[in-house]
């Protein structure tokens, strides 16, 4: 019924992990796990090599380490991923003005609107060309789904993974979907999946048979209607570029539950500041302040307050957050705190640029603050481990004077003598660095004292060498 399969869904394969493998030649073909490395971290992305051990995203990192003890565990480096993502999105926008990014590694493109394709053959050709261009520009593989609707295009790219392309011909969608699990449909997660399973519905075909009324009764109005339409392969949502943000929030999970009320208040104030920093950087102000508290038992509650008008004043947000906290019982301990602002209004801030810069600096400083997990700890003997008092996550009230330099695994560094490399692990006063760069052969490893003056953090190098013209970065030769 629907026209030609000219909606394209692009999905980068194991994006964060693939970027790290591209940046670090010695990791190619190896199990790479990107995610939180602390005691409560979870996996953001696992390379396909790591997936063979049963590691997958959203899994606690601790569990991943048990399944795959020899994997490389790295913290995410969003600035690098964003830069790579920008290259990819630029390719998409060259195809069509109608590009809807869903995240750093995923987007929809309306090929017809860009006059890039009008039929199956044209769409397939455009998709294959796109995959080649992305590989040339970034060195990474992407999967492409093509269909007459967003939902089907996404299902197609999922099925094409990794490094593939799948086009769903119009008219074939129902029979294609029928045997698939309901869980392949976007919007059907663990809860809905289990709900449906208990009603004896496990495939998309059974979903369609159940009928709209039944599904609405089981899962609610909006969900039921959407579910039924998806089961029939119906989806007429347009590709929309430029959707504006609806809320801004920041949250922190603590390595150890917080009990001290004074400390909790202090953390809420910090989060409020950070939240406003981001709010301002995005050129917004907001009316509703939200406090989020996750307790020791993982139960989560939110408290919110709506102001008379929008604000981007740190003091106002801090005070509102503090008021909201007073209404929350924290006995037993708190594992996470968050502060958010919603009800956003455009707010053209006078000195927006100065603020954005301040924010960027603050973020850069924070990035290096995170607790670094040593990874290749090997048989390092002797010397007592620094034994950090846990829970004193970051910037612990300036108690310790001679701050030891931290080298989180995965950080880019430059050594005066050996050149560019990355931190493979650190601990017991030492840091292990592998010297290699995106274009090079796998490099050698050397170990230094953490305070080696020749060693300094550096910016990530571009994945594909060609952009040598801009020496803006650390192009000291």
Q: What residues make contact with DNA under the rule CB under 7 A?
A: 36, 38-42, 44, 57-58, 60, 62, 65-66, 102-106, 154, 185-193, 220-223, 243, 245-253, 278, 288, 298, 300-306, 335-336, 338, 340, 342-343
Could you give the residue numbers annotated as active site? 106
Choice between 9 and 437, CB closer to DNA:
9
User: Strand pairing partners for 420?
Assistant: 414
Cα Rg, the chain, nearest whole Å: 25
Structure tokens at 387: 């034994």
Q: What are phi and psi of 204, to 5 degrees?
A: -65, -35
User: Whole-number minimum distance, CB 288 to DNA, in Å?
Assistant: 5
Q: Kindly report the number of other CB atoms within 10 A of residue 379's CB atom.
A: 4
**Which is closer to DNA, CB of 116 or CB of 393?**
393
- How much of the chain is in helix, strand and coil states, percent to nearest 5? 35, 25, 40
Contact (Cβ atoms closer than 8 angstroms) between residue 38 and residue 406: no
3 or 102: CB nearest DNA: 102
Say how far apart CA 110 and CA 58 lie, in whole Å: 31
CA torsion sign for 26, 31, 34, 38 is: negative
Give dist(CA 448, CA 461) in Å, integer: 22
Query: Concatenated DSSP letters for 274-305?
Result: HHHHHHHHTTEEEEEEEEEEEETTS-EEEEEE
Report the nearest approach of DNA to the CB of residue 233 (Å).
Answer: 17
Q: Which two tokens mark 275?
A: 């939240």
Residue 121 or 385 having the CB closest to DNA: 385
Rounded distance between C-alpha atoms, residue 439 and residue 313, angstroms = 46
Angle 192-193-195 from CA coordinates, rounded to 5°: 60
Burial class (CB in 10 A: 0-12, 13-18, 19+), 458: middle
The angle, 0 to 180 degrees and rounded to 10, between the axes of the packed helices 212-219 and 190-198 is 120
Neighbours of 36 (CB within 10 A): 19
Rounded-to-integer distance, Cα 318 and Cα 302, Å:
16
CB of 125 to DNA, least distance (A): 26
Backbone angles phi, psi at 453, to 5 degrees: -65, -20
Euclidean distance between CA atoms 180 and 44, whole angstroms: 26
Of the pair 69, 401, the CB lying nearest DNA is at 69
Give the nearer residue to DNA in terms of CB position, either 250 or 264.
250
Of 439, 442, 444, give the one whose Cα is nearest residue 462. 439
CB of 336 to DNA, least distance (A): 5
Task: Report cis status (omega within 30 of 0) of the bond before 162.
Answer: yes
* Minimum CB distance to DNA, residue 308 (Å): 9
* Nearest approach, Cβ of residue 41 and DNA (Å): 6
First to last CA, the chain: 61
| 426 torsion bin: left (phi>0), alpha (psi -120 to 50), beta (else) | beta
């Amino acid at each position: 019924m629907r026209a030609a399969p000219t909606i394209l869904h692009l999905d980068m394969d194991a994006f964060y992990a693939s970027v790290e493998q591209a940046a670090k030649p010695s990791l190619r073909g190896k199990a790479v796990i990107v995610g939180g490395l602390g005691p409560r971290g979870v996996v953001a992305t696992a390379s396909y090599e790591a997936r063979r051990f049963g590691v997958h995203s959203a899994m606690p990192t601790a569990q991943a380490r048990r399944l795959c003890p020899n994997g490389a565990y790295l913290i995410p480096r969003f600035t690098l991923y964003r830069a790579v993502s920008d290259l990819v999105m630029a390719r998409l926008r060259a195809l069509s003005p109608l590009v809807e990014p869903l995240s750093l590694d995923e987007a929809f493109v309306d090929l017809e609107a860009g006059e890039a394709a009008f039929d199956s053959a044209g769409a397939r050709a455009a998709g294959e060309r796109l995959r080649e261009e992305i590989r040339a520009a970034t060195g990474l593989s992407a999967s492409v789904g093509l269909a007459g609707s967003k939902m089907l295009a996404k299902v197609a790219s999922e099925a094409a993974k990794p490094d593939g392309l799948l086009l769903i011909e119009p008219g074939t969608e129902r029979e294609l979907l029928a045997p698939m699990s309901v869980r392949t449909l976007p919007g059907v997660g663990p809860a809905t999946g289990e709900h449906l399973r208990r009603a004896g519905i496990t495939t998309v075909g059974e979903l369609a048979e159940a009928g709209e009324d039944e599904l609405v009764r089981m899962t609610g109005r909006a969900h039921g209607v959407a579910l039924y339409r998806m089961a029939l392969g119906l989806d007429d949502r347009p590709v929309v570029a430029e959707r504006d943000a609806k809320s801004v929030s920041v949250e922190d999970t603590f390595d150890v539950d917080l009990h001290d009320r004074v400390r909790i208040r202090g953390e809420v104030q910090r989060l409020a500041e950070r939240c406003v920093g981001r709010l301002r950087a995005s050129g917004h102000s907001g009316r509703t302040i939200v406090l989020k508290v996750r307790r020791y038992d993982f139960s989560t509650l939110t408290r919110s307050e709506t102001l008379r008008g929008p604000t981007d004043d740190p003091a106002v947000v801090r005070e509102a957050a503090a008021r909201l906290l007073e209404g929350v019982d924290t006995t037993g301990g708190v594992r996470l705190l968050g502060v958010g602002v919603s009800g956003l209004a455009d707010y053209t801030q006078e000195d927006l640029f100065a603020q954005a810069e301040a924010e960027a600096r603050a973020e850069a400083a924070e990035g290096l603050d995170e607790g670094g997990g040593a990874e290749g700890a090997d048989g390092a003997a002797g010397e007592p481990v620094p034994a950090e008092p846990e829970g004193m996550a970051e910037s612990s009230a300036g108690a310790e004077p001679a701050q030891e330099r931290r080298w989180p695994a995965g950080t880019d560094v430059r050594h005066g003598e050996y050149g560019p490399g990355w931190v493979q692990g650190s601990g017991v006063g030492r840091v292990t660095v592998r010297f290699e760069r995106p274009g090079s052969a796998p490099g050698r490893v050397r170990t230094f004292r953490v305070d080696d003056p020749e060693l300094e953090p550096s910016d990530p190098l571009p994945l594909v060498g060609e952009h040598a013209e801009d020496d803006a970065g650390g192009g000291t030769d």
